[in-house]
A and B are shown apart, each in its own frame.
Chain A
C-alpha cells in the first residue's frame, strides 16, 4: 500500500512500470510489524532467560573463585560434589516437606473457604476480602509480623496461654519451624487459590445438585461425586501453580528461620543463595540451580501427564 503516494499525475503511467510490484506489499508490512512487535519480548527472553540458562550449565562445569579471580574448568566435579554433599539429604527433605505440606494445606484450606463463600450468605464479599487481603500485603512485612507472633513470648503463645495451653517456641523447634513456615506461607497466598476455586464452583450447574438431591445423595457425597470432578481442571491448575511456587520459597525462610534450626528449613533456593552469594561458591550455586530447574521441569511434566487420569474434563 502506498498511502503516502500523493502524486498527481496520469494514472496510466503505472502499468508502464511493468511486472515489478512494490516490495512493501501490505502482507510484507504486516509481517514486519509482527516481528517488530515481538522483538522486545523475544530479545528479553533470549538475553535474560535462554542465555542465562545456557550460562548456568557452563558455570556448573567450573570452579569459580571470585576472590582469587580464577575460573577453571572442572568437568563434572561440581555434580560429584553435589552427590556427596552431606547437606543434600536435609535440603531435599526440607524442600519436599515444604512443598507437600504447603500444597495440602493451601489447596485444602482454599477449597474449604471457597465452599463456605459459595453459600447463599450475607457478607460473603466481606469475608472474601478478608481471606484475600494477605495476597496484597508485602511478603516480607507479612513474614516479619508472623515472626513476631511466633516468638516464644509472642502473640500466638499469648493467645494459647489465655486458653491455658503452653505453646512451644515455634521457630526454634526442629519439628515446629517447618510447620510454622508452611502455615505462614499458606495464609499468605491461599486467597489466590480460593478465588480460582470460587470461580470454578460457580460454573458447576445447579441442576446436577438438584438431581442428586432427588436421588437422596448426602451433601458429602454430592461434593465428592459432583463438585470435585467438575472442578478438577482448576485443582490441577492451582496445584501446578502452588507446587512450582513452593519450590521458589526464599524470603520467608530468610526472615523467619535462616534455614534453621539445624538445616531443618534449608530449602533448595535458600541453600543455593547461601552457597552462591554468602560463601561465593558460584560454580556450585550454578549446579544447585540446575537441580532446581530439573525438579521444576519434572514436576510440571508429571502433573501435566497426570491430568489424563484425574481431570474430569478439559475445556
Chain B
C-alpha cells in the first residue's frame, strides 16, 4: 500500500502514530524519571514529568537490599552460556537434519519437533523432581542445561535447518572435491554462511533466557543465586508492599542496557526476528 499520500492524509497518519506511541514510550519514561524521585514525589499530583529534586538514593539502596550486582552477573552469564550452547547444539542438529542423509532421519526429526508442541510449563513439575533427585535445586544447572538441550533450543534447530536447506548444493560439492570432510565443510563453509540465522537465534535465545521468570522462582531459593526478573519483585517493605523507588531503579538498570543495545542495532534485531518468524 505504498502509495503517495495527500498532505491531509499524511497529517492524519502522523497524528495516529504519535498517539499510538504513547503507551510504548510513556512507561519507560515514567520508570526512569520516577526512579530518580524521592518517594513523596513519585505520587505527587499533578504528576511531575521530570523529577524536581532528582537523586540517586534509590539506586544505592538497590545494592544494599539485595546482592544486586551478583544477580546481574547471574542473569548475564546464564544468558550468555545458554546462547552459545544453543547456537552450538542447534547449528549441528539443524545442519545434519538439512544436509546429511542418515537412516531414521525423519523419525528423529519428529522426536525433536515434539518440543515445539509442548510448552515448558507442562514439564515443569517432572523437571523439578528430576533436578531435586539430582540435588541440583538452588543451582543454576536447570536454567542452563534445559534451555540449551531441551524444548527452547528446538525452535533454534528448526530455524537453522530451514536456513541450511536453502544453501546451494554446489558449495558443498566444491568443498568435498577439495577434500574437506563433513565437519570441515560444516565448520568452514556452511556455518560462516549462516550468520543471519545464527544472529537471529542468538538474539531470541538471549532475550528468552534474560526474561525467564517461572523457572528461576521454581528452581532457586537463595537471593545470591537469583536472576534479575526474580530479584526485581523482591524489593518489598516489611508489609509486603513494593518499595516503588527502589523497584523502579532496579527495573531501569535491568531494562535500559538491553534497550540501548537494541536502539543501536535495531535493524539487525527487527529483521533478524522477522526473518525467524517467517521461516519458523
Name A residues whose Cβ lies closer than 8 Å to a Cβ of B.
3, 29-31, 33-35, 37-38, 40-53, 55-56, 59, 112-113, 115-121, 127-142, 144-149, 153-155, 158-159, 161-162, 183, 187, 192, 195-196, 198-199, 201, 204, 206, 209, 222-223, 227, 234, 237-238, 241, 244, 247-248, 250-251, 254-255, 269, 272-273, 276-277, 282, 285-286, 289-290, 292-293, 296-297, 300
Contact = CB atoms under 8 A, between A and B. Distances in A.
B266 A289 contact: no
Contacts of A195: 270, 273-274, 277
B47 A53 contact: no
B232 interface: yes
A292 to B, nearest CB: 5
B262 A133 contact: yes
Interface residues of B, number: 103
Contacts of A113: 20
Interface in B53-108: 88-90, 92-93, 95-97, 100-103, 105, 108
B205 interface: no
Contact of A244 (B25, B102, B119): B119
B207 A121 contact: no
Could you say which of A158, A238, A254 has the most chain B C-beta atoms within 10 Å of its C-beta? A158
Interface string B243-280: 01001100110110011011100100110011001100
Given A196-B274, A296-B119, A159 B47 contact: yes
Given A46-B111, A140-B230, 14 more contacts: A31-B103, A33-B96, A40-B88, A40-B93, A44-B149, A48-B146, A56-B126, A118-B1, A121-B14, A158-B47, A195-B277, A255-B233, A272-B121, A296-B122
A161 B149 CA distance: 51
A34 B101 contact: yes
Interface of B: 1-5, 10, 13-14, 16-17, 20-21, 23-28, 30-31, 34, 43, 45-47, 88-90, 92-93, 95-97, 100-103, 105, 108, 111-112, 114-115, 117-130, 145-146, 148-151, 153-154, 157, 179, 181-183, 186, 207, 210-211, 213-214, 217-218, 228-230, 232-233, 242, 244, 247-248, 251-252, 254-255, 258-259, 261-263, 266, 269-270, 273-274, 277-278
Contacts of B30: 145, 148-149, 155
B150 A30 contact: no
A146 B95 CA distance: 42
A153 B47 CA distance: 10
A228 to B, nearest CB: 12
Contacts of A282: 125, 129
Given A46-B111, A49-B123, A56-B122, A300 B211 contact: no
Contacts, number: 316
The main secondary structure of chain B at its interface with chain A is helix
A128 B210 CA distance: 23
Contacts of A127: 17, 21
A295 B123 CA distance: 15
B24 A131 contact: yes
B114 A45 contact: yes
Given A52-B126, A139-B211, A37 B100 contact: yes
Contacts of B115: 45, 49
A70 to B, nearest CB: 14
A148 B100 CA distance: 53
Contacts of B186: 37
5 closest A-B pairs (Cβ-Cβ)? A44-B149, A48-B150, A37-B96, A34-B102, A41-B93
A56 B148 CA distance: 21
A310 to B, nearest CB: 19
14 contacts: A41-B92, A46-B111, A56-B123, A131-B21, A140-B229, A148-B248, A149-B26, A155-B26, A162-B46, A187-B23, A206-B3, A209-B1, A254-B213, A289-B122
Could you say which of A51, A56, A138, A141 has the most chain B C-beta atoms within 10 Å of its C-beta? A141
Given A130-B24, A162-B46, A121 B213 contact: no
A132 B112 contact: no
Contact of A206 (B2, B26, B117): B2
